Chain A
Amino acid sequence: DTGVSQDPRHKITKRGQNVTFRCDPISEHNRLYWYRQTLGQGPEFLTYFQNEAQLEKSRLLSDRFSAERPKGSFSTLEIQRTEQGDSAMYLCASSSTSGSYDNEQFFGPGTRLTVL
C-alpha cells in the first residue's frame, strides 16, 4: 500500500498523559498536513510542513500540541497533558507541488484518540 499511513489507528489514554501519533506520507510528497476531526464536523486544519519546515502552526489548538517532521519524511504529532476535549480523530494528509497534483491532498485513515 503506497498511500498515507498513520499509527496507531486507535489510542485510548487517561487524562494528563502524553500521546504521540505518527504519519507516513506518500513517499514523493513534500507537503504534509495535520487535521483534527470531531463528531459531526469536517476536518479542521492544525499545521503544515513543506519538507522538514513547519510553515504554518498558528492553528495548533494550544501549546500542548506540537508537530515535527525531522527529515522531511514522516511526521509526529504530540499532545501533552491530554484533556477529554482532545478526544477526536487526527488526520494526516500529504500532497505534492509537482505536476498536476498540486494541492490535491491524500488522506490517511486517521488516529482516533479517546481520552478518559
Chain B
Amino acid sequence: AQSVSQHNHHVILSEAASLELGCNYSYGGTVNLFWYVQYPGQHLQLLLKYFSGDPLVKGIKGFEAEFIKSKFSFNLRKPSVQWSDTAEYFCAVIFLSTDSWGKFQFGAGTQVVVTP
C-alpha cells in the first residue's frame, strides 16, 4: 500500500541551527512531492514542490528539498532557522497513475519549535 512517513514528530532547535526533516514514501511509480507548512493559527501553505527535473528544489523562506528517487525520500532542509519557522511541517505525495487527479497523502507532520 502507498504510504508517506515523516521521521520525527517533534523537533526542538535553537535559532541559527540547521534543520532537516525527513520524508519517505512507499510507491514504485511516479510521484509529485510537496512540503506544506502550517504556522500557529494559520492554514496550510505550500513551501515547495517537485514534479520533475532537477531533484533539488528551492522554496519560499529559504527552504529547499532534495528528491532522492533511489531512497524514496524528499527531505526538507533549511541551513539556518529563525524563531518564525516555528510551525508544523507536512510532507504530501501524489501517487501518479493511481491518484493523478491530485489526491494528496500526507505524512503525520513534524512539529518544529525554534527557541531564541
On A, residues with C-beta under 8 Å from B are 4, 31, 33, 35, 40-45, 48, 50, 55-56, 91, 93, 95, 103-110
Contact = CB atoms under 8 A, between A and B. Distances in A.
A91 B34 CA distance: 17
B103 A45 contact: yes
Given A31-B101, A50-B101, A103-B94, A108 B106 contact: no
Contacts of B103: 33, 45, 48, 56
Given A33-B103, A55-B101, A40 B43 contact: no
A103 B32 CA distance: 8
A7 to B, nearest CB: 14
Contact of A42 (B32, B46, B101, B107): B107
A48 B7 CA distance: 28
A35 B4 CA distance: 16
A75 B2 CA distance: 28
Nearest to B51: A103
Given A42-B108, A44-B106, A56-B101, A104 B49 contact: yes
A42 B109 contact: yes
Size class of the contact patch on chain B: 20 to 34
Interface of A, secondary structure class, is strand
Given A45-B104, A56-B103, A108-B43, 16 more contacts: A4-B43, A35-B106, A41-B109, A42-B106, A42-B109, A43-B90, A44-B106, A48-B103, A56-B101, A91-B43, A93-B44, A95-B102, A103-B51, A107-B44, A107-B45, A110-B43
Nearest to B41: A109
B97 interface: no
A45 B109 contact: no
B48 to A, nearest CB: 11
Interface in B43-100: 43-46, 49, 51, 90, 92, 94
